[in-house]
Amino acid sequence: MRLLKVELTRLRWRRAVFILLVGCFLVPALLWAGMAWGTRPVSDAEIQQAKDMVAQNNEANREAYDECVANPESFGVAPGDVPEEVCREYVGIGSDEDYRWYLTRQPLDAGEERKGTGLAVISLLSALTMLVGTTFAGHDWNSGSMSNQLLFEPRRRRVWLAKAGAVFATGLVVSAAVLALWWGAVWLLAGARDVQPSGHTWGLIAASAARGSLLAAGAAVAGYALTMFFRSTVATLGVMFAVAVAGQAVFVAVFGEAALRWVMPTNIAAFLFNGYEYYDGYDECVDVGNGLDCSGGLTHISLAFGATYLGVLLAAAIGLSLWSFQRRDVP
C-alpha cells in the first residue's frame, strides 16, 4: 500500500499527466457545449421555412403525381394498391409532417446520444488515459530513474504492480467522474428542454458509463504495460496506431466483413452497449415482396464475448510486460 501511495504521488506530480487529465475534463465539456448547441430547439421561422420547402417540392412534383394517378400502370403501381397513396410516395409528395425532414437539426435525444457523443467521450477518455499510462512509464525509462527506483525496492513485481495500480486507479476515478459530470449535464439539459427520457434509458446509460470507466482504466493499464515492455513511448504509440487503425483496416480488407467480429472497435461496442449487431453478409438479403430482408446477414456479438476479447488482449499485454520486466536487465 505504501508503494502504491508513492506511485500515485509521482503520477500526480508528472506535468504531462496533469495536462492529459485536464484534457479529460476540458474536451468533453467542449463536446457537451457543441451537442447542446447542435440540438437546440428550432425557431418558428425555421419551421415555417421547412414547411415552405415542402410546399415548393410538392408543387414541383404535382404534374408527375397527377400523371401517375391517371395512368398508374405506367408507373408500376400494382393492381389492388391505392394509386393516390403509391403515387404520392413514388413522386415525393410530402405530408404536413414531412417538414421535419427539412429541419437542419434534431431535438436532444439522450438515448441516441448514448451511442453518439457518449461513445465519443468514452473513446476520448480511453485514448487520454492510455497516454497517461504510456507517458508515466516512458518517463521512467527515458530519464533512467527506473534503476534508482529498484535500488529502494528490488522486488520488481511489486514495483510493476504498484505502478499499474496507480495508473488503473487514476484512470478509473477520472473517467468515472467525467462521465458522471457529462451525463449529469445531459440530464439537466434534457430536463430544461422537457425531453427527459425514461428511467429504462437512463439505466442503459448508467451501465454503459460504468463499463466505459472500466474500459478507460483498462486502456491506461494497457498503455503502461506496453511501454514497460518496449521501454519506449514512441514504440508504444506506434504499436497502438498499428493495432487500432492500420492493422484492423487491413484485417477487414483481407478477410472481408466477416472479420468484423475480431476487430477491436466492434468488440468495444459490444462491451459498452451490452451487445452489438452488424451485417457481415449482404448477399444473404432476400426479396420479401415489399422490400429486402437482410436479417440473414445479421451477426450479434454479446457483452460476454466483447469483454473476453478485451480481457484477453489486456492479459496478454500484462503478462508479456511483467515477464519482460522481471527477466531483462534494467540500464
pLDDT, mean of residues 288-307: 73
Q: What are phi and psi of 217, to 5 degrees?
A: -65, -40
Would the pLDDT of 293 be above 90?
no
CA distance 22 to 19: 5
**Which range is least confidently modeled, 185-194, 255-264, 302-311?**
255-264
Question: What is the reported pTM?
Answer: 0.83
Average the pLDDT over 14-34 and give the result.
95
C-alpha 168/C-alpha 9 separation (Å) is: 14
CA dist list (Å): 133 to 216, 224, 317 = 11, 4, 13
Domain residue limits, the chain: 2-39+109-327, 44-102
Region 273-301 average pLDDT: 68
Task: Name the strand (E) or helix (H) holding 276.
Answer: strand 276-279
Determine the pLDDT at residue 32.
96
Whose grid coordinates read 405530408?
95
Element (H, E) at 1: none
Contact present, 209 and 179 (Cβ < 8 Å): yes
pLDDT tops 80 at residue 26: yes
